[in-house]
Amino acid sequence: MFVRMVYESFRRQKRRKLLAGAAITLGVTVATAMIAVATDIGDKINRELRTIGANLVVTPQEDSLDLEIGGVNLKPPTDGAFLNEADLPNIRGIFWHNNITGFAPMLPATASLEHGGTRQDVTLLGTYFAKQLAYGTEHFTTGVRDTHPWWKVEGAWPHEEDGSQDVLIGQRLAAKLNVKGGDTVTLSGRLLRVSGVLSTGGAEDDEIVAPLTLAEGILGKPGAVRRIYVSALTKPEDAFARRDPKSLSGAIYDRWYCTPYPQAIALQLTEAIPHSHAEQIRQVSQNEGAVLTRIEGLIFLITLAALFASALAVSAAMATAIFERRAEVGLMKALGAGKLAVASVFFAEAALLALAGGVLGFGLGTVLAHQIGHSIFNSEISIPPVLLPVILAIAVIVTFVGSAAAIRRAVGLDPVYALRGEL
């Protein structure tokens, strides 16, 4: 009897049920797409933000030691502390090595530049451009072309092989000396070929940028590195991330260490490179966290608004349907049906609508999520299977919330007035 009553309700009120089902489907479609994007957006946004450059820097441990007496900094102004270039491949051995998208060592030095009969001191910056390295059996390429994507070269990038005499000259320095790609300059007694003109919008526009081995040779310090810029995919900071790892122990420390926080990756870099100190570049990391937080907040508001609108539409449709069936409700109560029995009929109808709309909305939401992934991130948005029961539960909750007021009113109808067509 109960099943027949529910079936007759759907058969006789097709239009009302279709309107309510459409409202549920639309709300669930948006919710599915937004939840799918939210669960997969972290890595994709991080990869997009990696185009703004490195977010971690590694320096010699001595640089992090401040010596102050009476408020006077007594730390000697020297560049005598260096890291060992041979330790750089160890970066690929840290726990979060797959999150490292690139790294570039830097070795600045002052050198004497001769060109066109003039002589002046310039800053020579040695680095990797696209250097082939190996860690164990793994071979990879890294350099400033990964960590500093805003560097633009008019001409060609220098070759990385040992003995290369190709360099880049900063845009402002090139204009000052009237040097262009293909010209030669003499730097500290070495004849070098300018392969291209570099434009960064920073201090490098007044410098000579060369392969690291060339800079080491001119400086007379083979294997020396002054600092290392690292670009890593990280998780935005939260209260747990800011805790001092020295105060943690056991499982809590393992959880902190095994989460890709900037501080955790910085600690692992310090462990991989002897006598080093790693820290995040605050401005970059904080901007990433702010962007992710705002995007996730926007997604949450869109989802909430869609579900709220769906609940309102369901409420209106159910209220109209129950008003049209007030005589039926009155008859049920006159025949002895209790409040629970009456409510169960309408809640069963709402549950069926929710499940049907939830399944359809999940399918449409999956398509919408894939479209968002292709149009915004140019990649697939993965839909975890566990999302389906979550979406169905959300659909049932939204439908019940939207129907509750109308069902409560139906349960409270007086059968005498209901059978007479009065409220």
Question: What are the residues whose beta carbons fall under 8 Å from the beta carbon of 107, sequence distance 6 or more?
Answer: 82, 125, 126, 127, 212, 215, 216, 219, 221, 224, 225, 226
Res 116: pLDDT: 75
- Are residues 28 and 74 both part of a single domain? no
* 150 and 235 assigned to the same domain: yes
CB 205 within 8 A of CB 170: yes
pLDDT at 413: 58
User: Is the predicted pLDDT of residue 301 greater than 60, yes or no?
Assistant: yes
Torsion angle (degrees, nearest 10) of CA 259, 260, 262, 268: 80
Average pLDDT over residues 265-286: 83
Q: How many CB atoms lie within 10 A of CB 368?
A: 19
DSSP 338: -
For residues 64 and 120, membership in a common domain is answered with yes
Find, among 61, 54, 85, the residue nearest to 211 by Cα: 85
Q: Is the pLDDT of residue 8 over 60?
A: no
| 397 C-beta neighbours (distance < 10 Å), count | 13
Q: How many structural domains does the chain have?
A: 2
14-40 per-position pLDDT tens digit: 676 787 888 889 888 998 888 888 777
Q: Bigger pLDDT: 300 or 293?
A: 300
pLDDT 10s digits, 190-205: 899 999 999 998 889 9
Q: Per-residue confidence at 55, pLDDT binned at 50, 70, 90?
A: confident
Pair 112, 197 in one domain? yes
Residues 309 and 330 in one domain: yes
Same domain? For 258 and 185 the reply is: yes
| Residues 385 and 330 reside in one and the same domain | yes
Is 203:195 a contact under the CB 8 Å cutoff?
no
> Which pLDDT score is estimated for 209?
94
Q: What is the SS3 assignment for 322? A: helix
User: Whole-angstrom Cα distance, residue 197 to residue 199?
Assistant: 7
Query: CA torsion angle for 18, 415, 406, 19 (degrees, to 10)?
Result: 10
Domain boundary among 233, 258, 280: 280
- pLDDT (average), residues 358-376: 86
Mark whether 60 and 43 lie in a shared domain.
no
Whether pLDDT at 360 is above 80:
yes
pLDDT at 291: 65
* φ, ψ at 90 (rounded to 5°): -60, -20
Residues 66, 14: one domain?
A: no
Indicate the SS3 state at residue 99. Answer: helix
The span from the CA of 218 to the CA of 213, in Å, is: 9
Q: Which domain holds residue 223?
A: 56-280
Pick from 280, 302, 322: which residue ends a domain? 280
Tell me the C-alpha distance between 368 and 351, whole Å. Answer: 25
The dihedral built from the CA positions of residue 297, 300, 304 and 310, taken in this order, carries a sign that is positive
- The whole-chain average pLDDT of the chain stands at 81
Residue with tokens 């009456």: 342
Query: What pLDDT, in 10s, does the model give residues 394-422?
Result: 998 988 888 887 777 766 555 555 555 55
On whether both 85 and 150 belong to a single domain, the answer is: yes
pLDDT of residue 386: 84
Do 221 and 324 belong together in one domain? no
Last residue of some domain: 263, 280, 297? 280
pLDDT score for 236: 73
Which is more confident, 49 or 124? 124
Is the domain of 69 the same as that of 27? no
Terminal-residue alpha carbon distance, the chain: 26
CA distance 119 to 99: 45
